Structures are given as C-alpha cells and as structure tokens.
Amino acid sequence: MAVFGYVFLTREQDHLMPAGEQKTGLQEYAQSVGLTVDKFIIEKNVALRSSFKQRREGGELFRAVQSGDTVIVMRAEWILGSVREASNLLSVWKKNGVSLFCLNLETNITLPEKRKLLIYEGGSGLVQKLLAALLLCEGSEHDDTIKATEQIQKREGKYRGGPVPFGWEVNKKCFLVQNSKQQRIIRAITTMREDHRSYSDISEKLKEDFDLQLSHERIRRIFSSSQKKEKEESEE
C-alpha cells in the first residue's frame, strides 16, 4: 500500500504554490491521518482544467495506483479538473479501493474514513467545499450574478453558505457570530506563533490544554485566516 503526494505546479497565477510548501503540507497531513508519503509526484506547467488522466505525471499515477494505495493533494481542483472528470475519477478510484485525500476538503473523498473525526463540519459542508472547488474549474455564465449576490450578502453580514470558519458559528438569523471556545483556541495559537512556537509544538499544546487534535496544516490555515481577518478589519 503506497502513499503518493501529488505536487501540482500549474501555469495559473492564482494557484501557484511552491513545491517545497506543498511537500511539507502533504507530509504533515499524511502524518495527521497516520500515513507517510512514500513518493512525491511533481506535475509541472500544466493547465488547471486539463484532464488528470491525460497529464504526463497524472496519467502515469492514475494507471499505477492499486487497491489500498493513497493519493494526497493540496487542493481538490488540482486533481479533479472538471465535474465530468471528477465523477469519473472518483468512481474509478472508489471501485478500485484507492483513497484520495484533499487538504482543502480535509477528508478522504473516495472511501469512508476509518479514523474518528474530532472536528467535523457535516456532509453538507463537505459538498459545498467540493462544489466550490469544481466551480473554479468549470466557470459559469452566471458569474456576474453570483458575485453581485455575494456582495449584497457580504454587506449585510449574512452567512453565504459553505464551510463555517473555525472560530465562528451561524446563529438562528443566519449571521456568523463568534464561537467563544474556538476563539480562545485561536488566541492561544496566535500567542504561541508570536512566541515562535512550531506548528508541531502548538498541536501538542492544544491537545494538552483543550483535548483537541488538530493537524499542523489545519493550525497553519487557522492562524493564516486569523491574521488575514485582523488585517482586513484594520484597513476598514
């Protein structure tokens, strides 16, 4: 049973991420689910919407994986390509017993997970994340309408669907409000990062103080989101 880390170096500026950063993220996530990346597959200079099975490295990986193997990628849209492509790929890998973990979805999207999830946003949250990822690849003739609607909802401060950010929850009036317990965790993460603590140390400390198991990658995203939000609020 082999574990492959799929590193995607695309042409699109909006999706550029250094290979080293991807490798670190993939390895840390693999460790958080009890795995170790055996081999990194590096796909260079290909279009986001290109078929995974027709890419040079992607095609070889698709043909090479066997039952019990695992593929890990940073973002779902980097490997699924399109709705049609996703449907076919997920169907084949599910039938063949191949696991596909996507870090932005934080789960195995081909096979049921055997580990106990300590934090789970529910099936609807996963579907929303997946649809959002696929829409980036598919495009839409209704983009302008969708953006206008989102802008109105954003001005009103209403929850617009999709995953609820860590540290927040949706109240009965469909507004995002702070989750006091998770906000304390965010403050703890921020304090430890300001003290130059590693994500590994922070993970252990959260487990000790809050009885909460978070992967290094999840902690990094929580911290980055918190810093981004603080910056946006300071600029308003």
pLDDT average, residue stretch 63-76: 94
pLDDT of 231: 76
Residue 203 lies in a domain: yes
Secondary structure of the chain in HEC code, one letter for each residue: CCEEEEEEEECCHHHCCCHHHHHHHHHHHHHHCCCCCCEEEEEEEECCCCCHHHCHHHHHHHHHCCCCCEEEECCCHHHHCCHHHHHHHHHHHHHHCCEEEECCCCEECCCCCCCCCCCCCCHHHHHHHHHHHHHHHHCCCCHHHHHHHHHHHHHHCECCCCCCCCCEEECCCCEEEECHHHHHHHHHHHHHHHCCCCHHHHHHHHHHHHCCCCCHHHHHHHHHHHHHHHHHHHHC
Residue 28 belongs to domain with CATH number: 3.40.50.1390
Shared-domain flag, residues 100 and 176: no
Model confidence pLDDT, tens digit, residues 98-117? 999 988 887 788 877 654 44
Which domain, by its residues, includes 153? 143-235
pLDDT of 188: 94
pLDDT average, residue stretch 74-78: 89
Domain total for the chain?
A: 2
